[in-house]
Chains A and B, each alone.
Chain A
Amino acid sequence: MKTTRALLRTGLLLCVLFVSCEEVIELDLDTQEPQLVIAGFISDGQGPYTVRISRSVAFYDTNNFPVEEHANVRITSDEGITEVLTQTSPGVYQTAHLRGQRGVAYTLDVALDGTSYSATSRIPAESIALDSIQVGYKKASIFQEAGYYAIAYFKDPPDVANYYRLQVLVNGEEYVFRDDEETDDDGTRDTNFWLLRDKFTDGNVQDYEFPHRLAPGDTLHVRLQQVDRITFDYYRTLVDVLSGGGIAPANPITNWDPEVLGYFGALSETETTVVVPEEQ
């Protein structure tokens, strides 16, 4: 993570040195007919769990995505428990009673316009809790500007591959990253996909450093999600697309059969809140 950011910084520095320039251009883009998107999650946390069904629009359209209001949506566990979701607002389907259990696989079935779509995901068996969030002052360096930064600590179980996603809210809102405080640039909103795996850190206490620059008195809310490898790969490929797609952009992987956009994921999560202490 640090390395990536340092490399990005290298690139950025090279660009700045060699006088780069950004401008908005109009392109003649092709448009695919509206594609079906089904996105939903179930966790070991309190419900209701939500499934959203919508469609894609053209790139130059406004962000108003048509919804599907006539779907039949059902979640079934591999232990045989079933609940049919009810539509609570257009295109939004929710559970009423279902409670996700660790170690159990859930299947989301959607019937729409005569086609059935199905996706299965399993909640990880073990719960991993955040041990602590520590906030400290850091000097300016290549990795960050001077300020208060938070590190999340938790213990990774040894000898098993684990996959995590962290989400952060600062004072109850998504954080906005500003590249340079002096410019009036609107900054980049935190997409909140802070992904972590134990490939290089198996069995250790994980210390995830957030790049969010905090001020004394800020309330920091951190959620740790534990997912399986396929869900992690979905997150990873989704982040690839959100960050530009690389040289051969392709839609994120999916577990929908037949293939549609979106994903159905099952996860285990824990949450912690801390307040950045006022300066002494």
Chain B
Amino acid sequence: MLLSLLFLFLFSSMGITAQETYTLSGSITDAKNGEELPGASVWIKELETGGTTNAYGFYSITVPQGSYTLSISYVGYTTQEQRIEFTDNRELHIELIPESTSLQEVVISSKKKDLNVTSTQMSANTLNMQEIAKVPVLFGEKDVLKTIQLLPGIKANEVGSGFFVRGGSAGQNLILLDEAPVYNASHMLGLFSVFNSDAIKDLTLYKGHIPANYGGRASSVMDVQMNNGNNKGFSASGGIGTIASRLTIEAPIVKDKGSFMLSGRRTYLDLFLKLSNDEDTRNTSLYFYDFNAKANYKIGANDRIYLSGYFGRDQFGFSDEFGFDWGNTTATLRWNHLFNDKLFSNTTVLYSDYNYRVEIGGDEGQNNGFSIESAIEDFSLKQDYKYYWNNSNTVQFGWNATRHHFVPGEIRSEANANVNDLLLQKKYAWEAGVYLSDEQEITDNLRANFGLRYSWFAQTGPGAIFTYDAEGDIASTTTYDSGEFVKTYGGFEPRVGLTYLLSEASSIKASYNRNRQYLHLISNSTSGTPIDLWIPSSNNVKPQLSDQYALGYYRNFKNNTFETSVEVYYKGMQNQIDYRTGAELIFNENVESQLLFGKGWSYGAEFYFKKNLGRFTGWLSYTWSKTERKFDGIDTGNPYPASWDRTHDLSLVGMYQLSPKWSLSATFAYRTGNAVTFPVGKYEVDDEVVNLYDTRNANRFPAYHRLDLGATRSIKKTKKWEMSTTFSLYNAYGRKNAYQINFKEAENDPNRTEAVKLSLFSFFPAVSWNFKFN
């Protein structure tokens, strides 16, 4: 039914265009470094029509014969106008000149100035790097993942790798770096993200109405793109910060044809540890590093190859006795091909790996150490097409296939270790998807985006596959051969988005989308640790399913200086995962028997007010929401709030250009405390006083709030050199936010018990020095 509706819409506009038309296509790039500008706008003034560039800076529009004025614009760049005569199909490559930064017009916005109002996309947030650089953060390390948490609908804890989008759990976010999935996007237990801002071009987070070309997670998609590298000349940038240093170099391979970018970052906390008086501390290593690399090359006018990769690792260790390290590796090979001026194709080969390793050294000379390892590895092939059919229809279609390998856990021991070797059975799966979507202008005021995705998943052998009884004990065992299907799942994922323009500066949008998720994140912490486990759907674990409905009103004021929006949403989630009491999740061959399945739902309203231009810029975001879950095995089937449920969540971000040299910034965040379970009494067994618990998550942590301040001094030394120094103060008024509350024996009276709050980071100042050489 939905499919036929989709095709009806798709083909309804065929044959309307009787007039002679031509195609205008090409690319829009940065004149200074050749970097493509995704989301830049080409506008034909006389026709009041136009288009925007795709992720590779390519655009294509259809124009009737005639002579027109083109206006090409992108936020942060000088708008260009160009007179053009159409008597034939035209290719037009446009280079935009960045607005001089000394003008000090801080620009924060979606890229095309009124895209937030006019596009059919809703529930999406984009951050650009200029924006991120100004926002003060912990340790002064600018971080896309930390900054995006200040936007409506996105929540996270102070510590922990995960984030929560519109009531979804931390394992329901698809995090892509140059299209490759990143399975654990954090360093140092979540204090930093794996995204080194110097290597990142752009980030978009889809909270709802997820485009059909994405699939695999129930809640959101975070699409991060790396810089391509300067193809005009050599440039370098970097910085020295309180706890980390960064260096990025970019240069052409062949001028205007190809370029590369290399970027590295490393923390040096461990170097300070070496200065400690305490031998234990001195022998401790604790650091992380990231390495990003990307190269691209144009082969002729219609083909371009990109190769990019990421490698990052956290290292923790204590001399030879103990080592713990974890990290991601991703690689992306892409081939852009223009079949003609209307059909753009991208072929991608992907690799992604996440693993951790623990090493126990054992006693000196005793050969009794052992190591523990766990990993997930993906190989993937993707084909995407974008067809610029006519000015009313842009069609996207494609497919992808992924092979997943899971290594749940392996223990390898030395000869004399009293621990035996243990290799938990590896798991294997196929995941695939095919999609079709159309972005359509139905009337001048009504636009629509229809998308349909079909996803498919197969758990495959080799291996012994178990079923479990109600108690979680093995009920039966079946052995499968290599490649043999154990269980397959599949289903449609429709997406619909409608935009109705009320005026030039205001619109109403509505959307619906369904997502299926075949991989599940198993974690016994609130917000993520390096040892969290990804497991595939199986004969025992069904795919997660989410349905989201959203409605929004968008209004810009004063020629897009102010952006405002209100969105309401409802999200229903099925086959959600929670854990049995006392569940053993790590190193358990039967981890599936430890799971409980239920459903969840979330609804809320998000308010967003943003000032894009002027000396004072910034935004205010407020979310009211409710997220509940319902499991037969928990609280006798009564709904309970998810731990990440927060009624109120407010962020205020302000940036002020004080003088050409100085800019100031401040952020304030307030949110309802996490839902937690406090004791409802205590009792005694075995001479121990034991806390008594009742309803899940019936209590709340105290409200969380924090003010961060920042100041940046920029100096443009010469035409080629730019420098800036950023000072930041995290938690300026030293609020002691609860990280943990422990209920234990009173310090000074063993006959009583008390609640003890543990908090981290009461103010933390930091300074970083950054440079740029062009």
Residues of A participating in the B interface, judged by any CB pair closer than 8 Å: 2-3, 6-7, 10-11, 13-15, 17-27, 29-32, 34-35, 37, 39, 52, 54-65, 140-143, 186, 189, 191, 199-207, 233, 236-238, 240-242, 244-253, 261-263
Contacts and interface: CB of A to CB of B under 8 A. Distances in A.
B420 A201 contact: yes
Given A24-B756, A143-B321, A186-B747, 9 more contacts: A25-B757, A29-B680, A58-B682, A141-B280, A241-B690, A246-B524, A249-B691, A252-B581, A261-B690
Contacts of B696: 248, 250
B755 A261 contact: no
B424 to A, nearest CB: 11
B684 A59 contact: no
A140 B318 CA distance: 11
Contact of B753 (A59, A240, A241): A59
24 contacts: A13-B281, A14-B286, A19-B762, A22-B758, A23-B756, A24-B756, A26-B755, A56-B692, A59-B679, A59-B743, A62-B751, A140-B280, A200-B411, A200-B587, A204-B418, A233-B582, A244-B740, A248-B579, A248-B696, A251-B581, A253-B581, A261-B692, A262-B685, A263-B685
A62 to B, nearest CB: 5
Nearest to B581: A250
B67 to A, nearest CB: 64
Contact of B678 (A11, A21, A27, A64): A27
B742 interface: yes
Contacts of B526: 247
A191 B762 CA distance: 33
A31 B681 contact: yes
Interface of B: 188-189, 269, 279-281, 283-284, 286, 316, 318-319, 321-322, 324, 358, 360, 372, 411, 418-420, 422, 524-526, 578-579, 581-582, 587, 643, 677-686, 688-694, 696-699, 702, 736, 739-743, 745, 747, 750-762, 764
A56 B682 CA distance: 5
A236 B358 CA distance: 23
A40 to B, nearest CB: 10
A17 B578 CA distance: 33
Contacts, number: 212
Nearest to B696: A248
A252 to B, nearest CB: 8
Nearest to A16: B281
B172 to A, nearest CB: 17
A18 B760 contact: yes
Q: Which 6 A-B pairs have the closest CB atoms?
A: A142-B318, A56-B683, A237-B582, A32-B680, A39-B685, A56-B681
A3 B747 contact: no
A63 B681 contact: no
Contacts of B525: 247
Nearest to A205: B418
Contacts of B745: 189
Max chain A C-beta neighbours (<10 A), residue from B524, B578, B579, B679: B679
B411 A244 contact: no
A189 B688 CA distance: 10
Max chain B C-beta neighbours (<10 A), residue from A61, A141, A237, A262: A141
Contacts of A204: 418, 420
A52 B684 CA distance: 9
